[in-house]
Amino acid sequence: MKKKIVSLVLAAAMTLSLCACGTTGAETTDGAAAETETAATDDASADASAASGDSYTVGICQLVQHPALDAATQGFKDSLTELLGDKVSFDEQNAAGDSATCATIANQFVASNVDLILANATAPLQAAAAATNEIPILGTSVTDYATALEIDGWTGKTGVNISGTSDLAPIAEQAAMLNELFPDASNVGILYCSAEPNSQYQAKMMTESLATYGSYTVKEYTFADSNDIASVATTASSECDVIYVPTDNTAASNAEVINNVCLPAGVPIIAGEEGLCKGCGVATLSIDYYDLGYATGKMAYEVLVNGADISNMEVEYAPQVTKEFNKTICDELGVTVPDSYVAIEE
């Protein structure tokens, strides 16, 4: 926390010194002005000196443990530690996929008066936004901030104490990937958790993007929580030629469950991100979540040290995307991908 005690004492002492001066006339005016300027300079120097020794506590709320979110958190911590060294400490909490726990964690951060909150995924972002309008909040692994925060007329900035990075890969390019690999498919299922607003957003965008090809019948298959995934995936795999799973945290945490249903049924999955694809997909248009978190750490430095106005900071996106494929699942399903795809490391 910034402490200006030294500068205030120096300023007070200087003020008393000025009041004690007995000179008069022009000499008094010029001398007071000079001494006031000197006091201001000294005060600024003291502030700068204090700032150089400041320490910061950052609260991290991650929705659930899975490779993509883990990588984003690690990238954030590495980035900020490189910039601040031992001047930054982290209070890292995992909500184990529970929105109510996100709220509890966010309120604890507010009670502890942390300097900044990192909200890793949509539910933590929403919980932090509800908990404070003063402490700066940075999101990461959040697909669509306008949807998550219910902002109309999105301009790229929230206008409140929130900014961050988005994990939204171009939906139109994902639809093009699906069409490239499965041009003869008729029925496409979109499998996601109904409790995740950003998954709903991606499902809507994917449906619109696939409509441009004119050859697909698209149907959404939603589950309320992890308990429903197997049964919903079973229904989807029995009715669809190919399935799309967006960047959905509940799905990513249960990729093995989805794979155990869809792979034996012979139904390929286009996944929204690499971790999910590694667990159950044939291909993905992937971003690097570590890089995403790393970029968020740089934003945190700007807020904490350089005083950037977070309400006016543009939400940032992944700098590049990569076409990747899961060789094991592709081989088992007999799916051949173009040479431009990169195999996911096992």
Tens digit of each residue's pLDDT (9 = 90 or more) over 280-321: 999 999 888 999 999 999 999 999 999 999 999 999 998 788
* CB-based contact 209:203 (threshold 8 Å): no
Distance from C-alpha of 292 to C-alpha of 131, rounded to nearest angstrom: 24
| Domain 56-167+289-314 matches domain 171-286+322-343 at the CATH topology level | yes
Distance from C-alpha of 217 to C-alpha of 240, rounded to nearest angstrom: 9
> How high is the pLDDT of residue 319?
77
Calculate the alpha carbon distances from 245 to 66, 253, 258, 272, 314 in Å.
Answer: 16, 12, 10, 6, 28
> How high is the pLDDT of residue 191?
98
Question: Where are the extended beta strands (E) located within 76-170?
Answer: 88-94, 116-120, 137-142, 162-166
Element (H, E) at 203: helix 197-211
Q: Where are the domains of the chain?
A: 5-52, 56-167+289-314, 171-286+322-343
Tell me the whole-structure pTM to 2 decimals.
Answer: 0.71
Provide the residue type at 317 as one letter: Y
* CB count in 10 Å sphere of residue 299: 26
> How high is the pLDDT of residue 198?
86
Q: What angle do CA 303, 69, 305 make, to 5 degrees?
A: 10
> How high is the pLDDT of residue 53?
65
* CB-based contact 195:224 (threshold 8 Å): yes
The domain 171-286+322-343 having CATH identifier 2.40.30.10: the answer here is no
Query: In the CATH scheme, what is the code of domain 56-167+289-314?
Result: 3.40.50.2300
* CB-based contact 169:321 (threshold 8 Å): yes
> How high is the pLDDT of residue 286?
83
Cα–chain-centroid distance for residue 129? Answer: 14
Distance from C-alpha of 259 to C-alpha of 276, rounded to nearest angstrom: 10
257 half-sphere exposure, CB direction, 13 A CA radius: 17
**Residue 305 has what DSSP assignment?**
T
Q: Which two tokens stand for residue 299?
A: 């934003």
Ranges in the chain, pLDDT < 50: 1-52
